[in-house]
Amino acid sequence: MDKKLYDLMNWPDIEGIIYSDGCNPKNLLGTHSVKGGILIQSFYPAAVGATVKAADGKTYEMEMADEEGYFAVLIPVKSKFAYTVEFRFEDGNTFETDDAYNYPSMIKKSDLKSFIEGNNNHVYRFLGAHEMDYKGTKGVDFAIWAPEALRVSVVGEFNNWDGRIHQLEAIDSTGVFELFVPGVKASSLYKFEIRLKGGKVVLITDPFSKMAESKSEPASFVCDDNFKWSDEEWLSNRKSRNKYKEAPMSVYAYSLPDEDVTYKEITQAIENTFSESRFTHVVLKNVINTYTGLYLDYDRTGYFSINNRYGSLDDFKTLINSLHKRNIGVLIQWNFDDINVGRNEVANIMYSSASYIIEELHADGIVADRLGNAVYLDFERDKWTSNMFGGRENLEAVDFIRGLNEIFGKQYKDVITVADDRAGWPDVTGSIKEEGALGFDYSINHIFGDNLIYFLGCDPLFRKGRYNKLSLSMVTFYNQDSILAFDADSINMLEAKIPGRIHGDKMANLRAAFAYSFAHPGKKTIYSGNGEETWNTFVKALTDFYNKHSELSEMDYESDGFEWINNISGNECVLSFVRKSKDGRILVVIANFTPVIREKYKIGVPFEGRYKEIFNTDDEKFGGSGILNKRAVSSKKDECDGRADSIRLTLPPLGVIVLDYTKTVAKKGNTK
C-alpha cells in the first residue's frame, strides 16, 4: 500500500468496521477531505478488489487495506463527487453499488430533539424504513432507536443478511442509528442486527415497521407511501367529539378471522353485515401485529405493524377506504399494557403509534384494550411491586394515558378514544382537568352485558331472584360515558346459557336482550349474530329503529334523558322506562323477560295521551309468535307505578316493545 495512503488509515477503527464493533462507520467509510485530496474507503466482506467509478466516467482503483475486504483510495481532487464502487470476487463475479456512506443523515435535528425531550408524536415519520429520493438517488432510509446498542446493522435480501455490510451510524447520543441505503426498494425484507453490551448479537424485527411476516420473530417489509385515498368526503364530515355523544352509535365488533381470507374478502364480509343492519361503526380487532420484543425497552413491539396474513398494507388501507365510502366508521383495537411508558422516548413511540393509526390509516378512533393491565400494577398479575407511594396504581401509565387523550383532544377533534376497562378505574371518561381522570371519550361497560347474561342464563321460573341485575347498570351509569358491551363473546356465552331446547325460545331471549341493550342508555358495541334470515331482518329493523329515534341516543349521558317507570316487578320480570330527546319527545320501553303472555297488563305512563306500539321483538317477521298491540291506546286516570295515568296492553312472551307518545289535543268547544 502507498505510504501516504497507509498513513491516512485509522487501523483500530478499521478493525472495528471489519468486526462490526463500532457505532460510527461514517468516520471512516465514504468520502473524506484530507490533505492531498479526497479519501474514499469501502468495505465489502470477501471482496478481492474494488474500483471507484465516478459519474464523469473516470475510474480509480482502490488498494486493499485488509484482506477481509477493506479498500481505500486517495484521489487528488478538491471536491467530493458522485460515484459507485465495483467490488470483485475470487469466482470472477462483480457487484456494483452506490456507496451508502456517501450520503448524509436524512433525519432533521429538530425531530431528534423533540423525540428525546418527549414532545414528538410522529416518530414513525423518521424511524423505521422509508423510501426516499435523495437528489435523484432512490433508496431506503433505515433508522431505529436503540439506546443500549453498541452497534446496529440493517440486514436483508439486498445484502445477503450480512450484518457487516450496512452498519448504521449512531447520531450523537440520541440512541438513534440511521443509514440511507441506495437501491433498496419497497417490499424488500429486512431486520436489524444489534450488538449489545457484553457482545451478544441479536436479530430483531423493526419496532417501527408498517408490516412484517406472519411468523415468530418475523422480518419486516419495506412499505411505500403511495396509496391514494378517496375518503375525503367522509373525513370532512366526521362529527366533532361532542356531537358523537348526541348521535346514535352502534359498533359492530369484528375480529380478524383465524382462516385463510384476504382483506378484500374481509371488506366484503363487513359490508354484507352492514347491508343487513344499520350499525354506525366497526371495531377491527387483532389488526395491530404486536409481538414479543427481544431487547431494551421493547417488551412488546410492532405497534405500527398491520397484520399481513390477509394482504398488504395497501390492501388494509383499501378496506378502510371502502368502508368510509359506505359511511361506516372504523375503530381499531390498540393496547400498550406491557410497555415501559415512563421513559420519554418510549412514551413518544406509543403516542406516535396512536397518531399513525389515525393519520396514516384514517381510523376514526382507537379502542385501548386491557386498560386495567396498564393502570394497575397488580391486575391479572401474580407478582408486582407497589408504586413509590405504596399503591397499586401504575402512575407512569396513568400520566401517559392522560397525555394521550390530551393530544387527541387538541389534534384530533373529530375522532374518539375508547377504553376497554374491566378493572374498574373510578374515572375513565372524566376530563383530564380533574385529578385521576383519564380523559377517554368512552369506557366499554362489561358489567351491563355480564349482568344481562347472568339474568337470562337462569330458567324463567327462577329469574325473579336475579331481577335486580337488570336495573343495577343504572345505579352507577352516569359515573362514566359508557359503551354497552354485548359482543361475540357475550352472545356465544348467552346462547350457551339460555335454558331449554326450543330454538324459538332461545331466539326470543336473544331478541329481547338485543332490544333491551339498544333501548338502554349508552352507545353500543354489538355482535350481529348467527346469520339466520329472520335474525338478520330483526337486527336490520332494530338498528334502523335506533338510528331514526333520537330519544334512544341524544341524551345518553344526561340523567334527564332516562326515567324508570317500574323496576320493582320482580315476580313478573317486567321492566319499564322512558327515553327522552332534547326537544321533549319520549319513548316508553317495556320488557317482559318470561315466556308468559301478559294480557291487559297495566303500566303507569308519564303523560296523558295516546301510546302506539312502534317496535315489537315478537313480530312474526322476526321469527316471533306475533303477539302485537296493533292499535294505539289512550291513557286513563288510573294510578299505577306512582303515576296518575296508565294504560293497559298485551306484553308478548320474552319480548320488548316500544311505544310512541302523542299528546291528546283537546277538541274545540271542550271546556275541560
Look up the pTM and report it.
0.91
Indicate if 109-222 has the same CATH topology as 3-98: yes
Superfamily of domain 109-222: Immunoglobulins (2.60.40.10)
What is the identity of the amino acid at 522?
A: G
Judge residue 385's burial from the number of C-beta atoms within 10 Å of its C-beta, 0-12 exposed, 13-18 middle, 19 or more buried.
exposed
128 neighbors 206 (Cβ within 8 angstroms): yes
pLDDT at 33: 95
Please give the CATH number for the structural domain made up of 3-98. Answer: 2.60.40.10
Q: Say which residues have a Cβ less than 8 Å from residue 24's Cβ, sequence separation at least 6.
A: 169, 170
Class (C level, CATH) for 259-444: alpha beta
Q: What's residue 98's pLDDT?
A: 96
Spans of all domains in the chain: 3-98, 109-222, 259-444, 447-663
Lookup: cell for 269:
364480509
- In this prediction, residue 190 carries a pLDDT of 97
What is the reported pLDDT for 671?
Answer: 45
Q: What was the pLDDT predicted at 2?
A: 86
**Mean pLDDT for each 10-residue chunk of the chain (672 residues)?**
91 95 96 95 97 96 96 95 96 96 96 93 96 96 95 96 97 96 96 93 93 86 94 91 88 89 94 88 89 52 88 96 96 84 89 96 95 92 94 95 94 94 92 95 91 88 91 90 80 67 76 94 78 83 96 97 96 97 97 96 97 98 96 97 97 97 73 43
All 3 cell numbers of residue 139?
A: 433508496
Rounded distance between C-alpha atoms, residue 471 and residue 458, angstroms: 16
**Residue 526 confidence (pLDDT):** 80
Instruction: Tell me which DSSP letter residue 295 carries.
Output: E
Task: Please give the sequence-ordered ranges of beta strands (E in DSSP) within 199-351, or none if there are none.
Answer: 201-204, 220-221, 250-255, 281-285, 291-295, 298-301, 329-334
* Residue 299, pLDDT score: 54
Fold of the CATH domain 447-663 = Immunoglobulin-like (2.60.40)
State the cell numbers at 475: 345505579
DSSP string covering 522-566:
SEEEE---S--HHHHHHHHHHHHHHHH-GGGTTTTTSGGGEEEEE
Task: Classify residue 610 by burial, with Cβ atoms within 10 Å: 0-12, 13-18, 19+.
Answer: middle
> What would the grid cell of residue 548 be?
331514526
What is the pLDDT, as a whole number, of residue 277?
A: 84
Which one-letter amino acid corresponds to residue 191?
K
Query: Comparing C-alpha atoms, which of 466, 463, 512, 513 is closest to residue 486?
Result: 513
Distances (CA, A) of 589 to 60, 552, 598: 88, 10, 15
Distance CA 292, CA 38 (A): 46
Strand order in the sheet with 586-592: 562-569, 574-580, 586-592, 655-663, 609-616, 633-634
Q: Are 220 and 191 in contact (CB under 8 A)?
A: yes
Instruction: Determine whether 349 is exposed, middle or buried from the number of CB atoms within 10 Å of its CB (0-12, 13-18, 19+).
Output: buried
